[in-house]
Structure 1
Amino acid sequence: MPQSLIFRLFLLITALLLSSCGEVEDTRPGQPVKQRQMAFKEIVKAFEPMGVMLRKDRYDADKFLPLAEKLVEKRDAPWSHFAPDTHYPPSKATADVWQQPEAFTKDKQAFITATDALLAAAQSKDKAQVAMAYDKVHEACKTCHKQFKER
């Protein structure tokens, strides 16, 4: 077999394999997995810029407060999409969400409480309070992800 044919065959096989690695689509009615994933992305869009401000020592209270308000506004959106029959691909949730609903609810409530505290700190405009409150929200996210999200 000529080298150029082998090379073309290799490229074709590689392209086919890579195209099959795409994200699985949520085709269920109402797309609950997709809805909760999109809701979490909206939360991150509010949360991450706050972290960048704090990590890069660029805290601006007047820019931080609207982000904290947006985070609180978006924080409730994902939870209703964790119905009992929604543990299927493309979900990144672990089965523990449904097997340990009390623990999942406890972590969700910790996140909500932490975001309330972050909003209050942002309203105070005190950078030290804001940084501590931000860290508590971040810790609440990590705690929940550790048990309830696939790595």
Structure 2
Amino acid sequence: MNKTLWTMGALVVMLLSACGGQNETKPADAAQASAATSAAPAGSANASVAERERLMDIFKDASGTMGKMIKGETPFDAAAFQAAADTMAENADKPWQHYTEESAKESPDAKPEVWSKHEEFKQAAEKFVAATAALKTAAAEGNLDAVKKPFGEVGQSCKACHDSFRVED
């Protein structure tokens, strides 16, 4: 069981590391990052892509913090885990609105299926939102055993979406 959880945790970290670009936003910096504005005009395709990439970076960083604890690379810190889970859950419903038809031409990482199979994409996003909410609730228990399964479920929702809707390098 522990090896399976470790493997799932490693998979989550690996998958989420592929979510974003080169930018790194730490969960503690999420509020500051959300106040940042893009150089692209508001409402433009480039601004949509930049915003969803920024949000994916937040997920990647929060997952990385939690994944290190799940894998035992860093000691479990209930408050830090809760903060990362909160950050992820609070932002879980935000990137999807930035997958606009206009941004399709500007997005080398999104498969055309994001737009051609929009209902499936929407369902994948809803699964992610539900999984992050469950992780946030589990994190409130304050112990490592309570968060292992929900953390793995977040990773599974990421993987399923990436497999169907993200161009992998």
Same fold (TM over 0.5): yes
1:65 equivalent to 2:56? Answer no
TM-score, normalising length: structure 1: 0.77
Task: State the number of aligned residues.
Answer: 127
Considering only aligned residues, what root-mean-square deviation do their CA atoms show, in Å?
A: 2.0
Identity among equivalent pairs (%): 27
Task: Tell me the residue number matched to 2:60.
Answer: 44
Once the two structures are superposed, the pairs formed by residues 86-105 of structure 1 within 5 Å of their partners are: 86-105=103-122
Q: Encode CA deviations 1:103-123: one digit per residue, 9 max, x unaligned.
A: 101110110110011011000
Q: Which runs of 5+ in 1 are unaligned?
A: 1-22
CA positional deviation for 1:27? 6.1
TM-score, normalising length: structure 2: 0.69
Q: Which amino acid aligns with 2:47?
A: Q
Runs of 4+ in structure 1 deviating by more than 2 angstroms, as ranges, are 26-30
CA positional deviation for 1:42? 1.4
Please say if residues 124 and 160 of structure 2, whose CA atoms lie closer than 8 Å, have aligned partners that are also in contact: yes
Q: Which of the residues 137, 149, 168 maps onto 1:132? A: 149
Task: Tell me the residue number matched to 1:20.
Answer: none
Q: Which runs of 5+ in 2 are unaligned?
A: 1-21, 23-38
CA positional deviation for 1:131? 0.6
Larger RCO, structure (CA 8 Å, separation 6 or more)? 2
Larger Rg: 1
